[in-house]
Chain A
Amino acid sequence: MIHASRNLSERYSAALAHHLADPDEGILNQAYELGRKALGDGLGVLDIAMAHHSALHAAISDESRAEAMPAPTLAKAAEFLAESLSPFEMSFRGYAETNAQLVIANDNLLQSQAAAEAANRELEAFSYSVAHDLRAPLRGIDGFSQALLEDYADKIDQEGRRHLTFLRESAQQMGRLIDDLLGLSRVARAELCRLPVDLSALARNVAMQLGKAEPDRQVEIVIGDGIGAEGDAPLLRIALENLLGNAWKFTSKRAGARVEVGMMSVEGEATYFVRDNGAGFDPAYQAKLFGVFQRLHSTDEFEGTGIGLATVKRIVNRHGGRIWAASEVDRGATFYFTLGEGTPQP
């Protein structure tokens, strides 16, 4: 920078002296070029002023041998200075223009943001409507099918009663689908609050509730001690409910059902896992595993809506982590997940 400044000063002095001695257009072009180069070198208006000052000073010293510098010479010097400053002037104008464009762009951005927020609110209102408005007719279908079964049992034959039972099952299944979809959208909307979480305690609590819901099931649940994480406790609870719930469900046809929850280090990253010795899945369909409404088992085999693992994946993603699974048919499944930065080292 100092070199560029000195260089400018020397060239400026020479060009100005030339201009004062023999003014023509070519020299003024040179003044413009000097300014342009100075701007390109990162020099400023002050550097030009200094160069001008020292050049003028040199010229006056020369002239002082004769008389003081005459007014026309001063005017010519000023003309030279103005020309050398014009690239800066143009740059400022460009800057002002860019700035004005930025202000407009920023306004547009704010408008888009407001539009996105409005759309989000609309989506929430829509979810609310889905919950309320879609469930009401389902209640009607289920309730009046049941009413027919109760009040007209003697007028409907066995086949008819079977149809009504299917009608009720369908309505209830759709009710569960709506609930799970709403759960998924809540998970996406919920504010994420990262705090230290005792996953061991959380998993034990979830396991206890599974046991309470189906006290006849014999499932050995092994939960490692001191599994710590940093994450959103309510969301992690939903994730564990789904993962443990799946393990519980897919071991239902297994004698000696076993579910394990633990933590290990994979390439230095805390990796949590939920392992079962249940039905497992065909690894060929692994890609579908975490998709919404994707199921790898028929409803006859195992009940479900196909939203649980999509919900878990969303929770893990929201923490900045990853989820994957390893399994073979009839050899159980293990689900692994990480929770992104901030999780303790195992």
Chain B
Amino acid sequence: MSNPQVELHITGHGVVTIELDAEKAPKSTENFLSYVNKGHYNNTIFHRVIPGFMVQGGGFEPGMTQKDTAAPIENEAKNGLKNTKYTLAMARTSDPHSASAQFFINVADNGFLNHTAPSAQGWGYAVFGKVVKGTEIVDAIKGVKTGRKGFHDDVPLTDVVIEKAVAL
């Protein structure tokens, strides 16, 4: 049984294909697919872009309206997967088990985000997939001009929109 794949169709940029690690991150994979299949990611933006670090999306519509999410999921960061370049990880607050819909794509090797201990400080960010096609599109996204919108920093000045997310 091969790992599930999802296409992110990004307006004006192209398609990024993600492979989800159902074996090592089963809950995050199931959670992500659930959001994909109910169309949650359609018309969301990459709202936080920091070159050399990560690009984050899946939570806000253009105009920075936050979309409702389902219940948070358990943090699977101790699955051994590392926050290396082009991996996908669940975004969350400082609460280890607060991830819901938002995710980020690492655009560098961010070892400091890896799990070190099951404590508030050591939990890390759960990697659940990787970009298998379209890394050049991720590179283009990380290079867009960003600025402050209201009280949000690092927001692309021109919206980077996920037109639709499709499970293959």
Whether chains A and B associate is: no
Interface residues of A (CB under 8 A from B): none
